[in-house]
Amino acid sequence: MLLTKWGKSLDKDCPLPEYPRPQFVRDSYLSLNGEWSLGFYKKGTFESLEEYSITVPFSPECPLSGVNRVLGKDEYLLYEKSFSLPEGFNAGRVLLHFGAVDQIADVSLNGRYIMRHEGGYTPFECDITSYLKDGENTLTVKVEDVCEDNEFSRGKQRTRRGGIWYSAQSGIWQSVWLESVPQDYIRSVRITPDFDREQVNFEFDGANGVLIRIYDGESLIAETNERTVKIPDFKPWSPESPFLYRVTFSYKSDRVKSYFGMRKFSVGSDKDGILRLFLNNKPYFQNGLLDQGYYPDGYLTPPSNEAMEHDVRTVKELGFNMLRKHIKIEPLLWYHYCDTHGIIVWQDMINGGGNYGLEVSVLPFVGIKLDDTKHGSFHRTSEKAMSLYYTELDEMLAHLYNCPCIAAWVPFNEGWGQFDSAAAYHHIKKFDSTRIVDSASGWHDMGVSDVISKHIYFTPIKVKTGDRPYVLSEFGGLSTRVSGHTFNDKMFGYKLYRDCKKLTKAYKRLFERVIIPQIKTGLAATVYTQVSDVEDELNGIMTYDREVLKIDADTVKDINERVKIV
């Protein structure tokens, strides 16, 4: 069993204890992470097959849960947790929050049914005030998950894992927590920096007349009830200077703390007329890594918040300025670390649909582009699943909208369950016009996108400019095995090398001969595969346990100094 150093020191009574929502903070917080009871049940029955004690928020399939049992397709999970509210905790209403539960969750409290949530990657909450009783309360969560046997979003999970597909998991996999709010409270806020007008806009749900206070460090620079606030001579956010303004919101007796960054993501032409990605109205080369966000001991769940920050810090210290969060929605603290350390993020939507076929594995490589309005060609035919895609998409957009680091939304990747990508582009732009949209990353581009987005692993990389900036949204994948730091004895990679020295030489050669020379002719951004090894994939710059940096750090730093527009 491969464990990270954070997994080895896990406090099972209090895992991932940090406040989980730094973009919208209240003083009220009670974590329900830790020991829960868990039963595996045969579908259609109420008799348990097996009973366990599980460490939440780790899925039963992963080592850190203490269970290590796979949920069968004909089974469901039943979680139970007892808790009592601290004296004085209830300020009027009590809200129950789930970071993510895979795939379908039914929530009950004290034997009374509350709600259902469908979708394994987005958060949800419910007001449990009227369901509470004095003393001990019993929370029950029923979970169903059939992975790829429906068209729901499933990410890179597969029941028969291998290659680029990873171990399936189920159940609660992000933090569960309580907060208390007054009877009248701010439900949410939408923060939109307006770089060109030197102002920031606030839109509140559930409150009018909110008092806004904005701070530059400890200095109060604005205090107003207006929803548009001027910030003359503001300090811009960028990877080189990730400055964040603190802001507080006061509404009746409700108090919330947040932050924002003044930045602008756009597309434009440089001095030579080449289309580029722009940051803060200037051409800016986005040089990043593909980031799967998997761990050998927690799978989708980080073994600690320090583990998440370690990845972000390492990437930044090596000189990268961007991460493409690949087919996963992270806990909000991950985005906070990108905000504070200065890492731009491209955020993928989670893929779903039926079993993938030639549209993914063959046709793109022989130059055949399919029309994604013909849903059968992409194995996305369920009307319910397509409707759920948009429900989850909207939940993701709203959930992450206030993260300054996010520069791009990626609704579809490599044709995995792709459908109507032009419609998805316009849907996203209507919700959020401030960010770039890469409608079809890799292939099957319908021409409605802000970028030309290519994945190239096996053929020569030759940048062909067009009517949009050209981004190499996946490439590289150079691999080597580091003994003692692998998930198993298998090895998947796009090019294999005997040791880290040879891997470093190949990495250096790829960038110096192929990538850097093509920046001046039109290459606008790169996403090298990838941050860490993941299960069979041994193409990370770090091993899966994050113990070994496989490519020489000084070499990477030197190269990254030259991966830019000059």
What DSSP assignment string belongs to 276-296? EEEETTEE--EEEEEE---BT
Task: Give the CB-side neighbour count of residue 536, counting CA atoms within 13 A.
Answer: 14
- Distances in Å between the alpha carbon of 145 and those of 107, 379, 534? 15, 20, 22
Would you say residue 150 has pLDDT above 90? no
Interatomic CA distance for residues 471 and 145, integer angstroms: 35
Give yes or no for a contact between 277 and 471, defined as CB atoms under 8 angstroms apart.
yes
Residue whose tokens read 């780790």: 58
- What does the pLDDT look like over 484-506, one tens digit per residue? 999 999 999 889 999 999 999 99
Which residue, among 564, 558, 566, 68, has the nearest Cα to 299 in the 3D structure?
Answer: 68
Q: What is the dihedral of CA 143, 145, 150, 153, to 10 degrees?
A: 90
Would you say residue 361 has pLDDT above 90? no
Where is 154: in which H helix or E strand? none
Would you say residue 149 has pLDDT above 80? no
Q: Which residue has the higher pLDDT, 206 or 39?
A: 39
Would you say residue 152 has pLDDT above 90? no
Q: Which two tokens stand for residue 105?
A: 């969750």
Which residue, among 193, 276, 192, has the nearest Cα to 236 in the 3D structure?
Answer: 193
Interatomic CA distance for residues 453 and 44, integer angstroms: 46
Would you say residue 8 has pLDDT above 90? yes
- Distances in Å between the alpha carbon of 430 and those of 49, 437, 450? 48, 11, 14
Q: Which two tokens stand for residue 233?
A: 């001579």
pLDDT-derived band at 206, boundaries 50, 70, 90:
confident
Output the pLDDT for position 387: 93
Any idea what DSSP says for residue 72?
A: P
Give yes or no for a contact between 55 and 219, defined as CB atoms under 8 angstroms apart.
no
Which residue, among 401, 413, 239, has the nearest Cα to 315 in the 3D structure?
Answer: 239
Interatomic CA distance for residues 556 and 542, integer angstroms: 12
Would you say residue 354 has pLDDT above 90? no
Helix axis angle for 383-400 and 421-431, nearest 10°, is 30
pLDDT-derived band at 460, boundaries 50, 70, 90:
very high
Among 85-94, 353-362, 478-487, the range scoring the smallest mean pLDDT is 353-362
Would you say residue 427 has pLDDT above 90? yes
Percentage of residues in the chain having pLDDT higher than 90: 92
Output the pLDDT for position 532: 98
Burial class for 295, CB neighbours closer than 10 Å (0-12, 13-18, 19+): buried
Output the pLDDT for position 355: 86
Where is 426: in which H helix or E strand? helix 421-431
pLDDT-derived band at 362, boundaries 50, 70, 90:
confident
- Distances in Å between the alpha carbon of 77 and those of 121, 152, 266? 17, 18, 45
Q: For the residues of 50-70, what is the DSSP string, one character each? A: EEEEEEETS-TTSGGGT---P
Interatomic CA distance for residues 158 and 115, integer angstroms: 27
- Averaged pLDDT for residues 335-352: 97
Interatomic CA distance for residues 192 and 263, integer angstroms: 10
Q: Which two tokens stand for residue 121?
A: 């990657």
Which residue, among 428, 425, 419, 417, has the nearest Cα to 394 in the 3D structure?
Answer: 428
Interatomic CA distance for residues 83 and 347, integer angstroms: 35
Output the pLDDT for position 207: 87
Count CB neighbours of 167 within 10 A. Answer: 21
C-alpha Rg value of the chain to the nearest Å? 23
Q: 228-246: string of b/e by CB count within 10 Å (b at 16+)?
A: ebebeebebbbbeebbbbb
Give the largest CA-CA distance in the chain. 70
Q: Is 188 helix (H, G, I), strand (E, B) or coil?
A: strand
- What does the pLDDT look like over 50-85, one tens digit per residue? 999 999 999 999 999 999 999 999 999 999 999 999
Would you say residue 121 has pLDDT above 80? yes
Average pLDDT of the chain, as a whole number? 96
- What does the pLDDT look like over 537-565, one tens digit per residue? 999 999 999 999 999 999 999 999 999 99
Q: Is 487 helix (H, G, I), strand (E, B) or coil?
A: coil
- What does the pLDDT look like over 377-416, one tens digit per residue? 998 888 988 999 999 999 999 999 999 999 999 999 999 9
Interatomic CA distance for residues 128 and 525, integer angstroms: 46
Which residue, among 467, 441, 442, has the nearest Cα to 457 in the 3D structure?
Answer: 442
Q: 106-131: string of b/e by CB count within 10 Å (b at 16+)?
A: bbbbeeeebeebbbbbbbbebebeeb
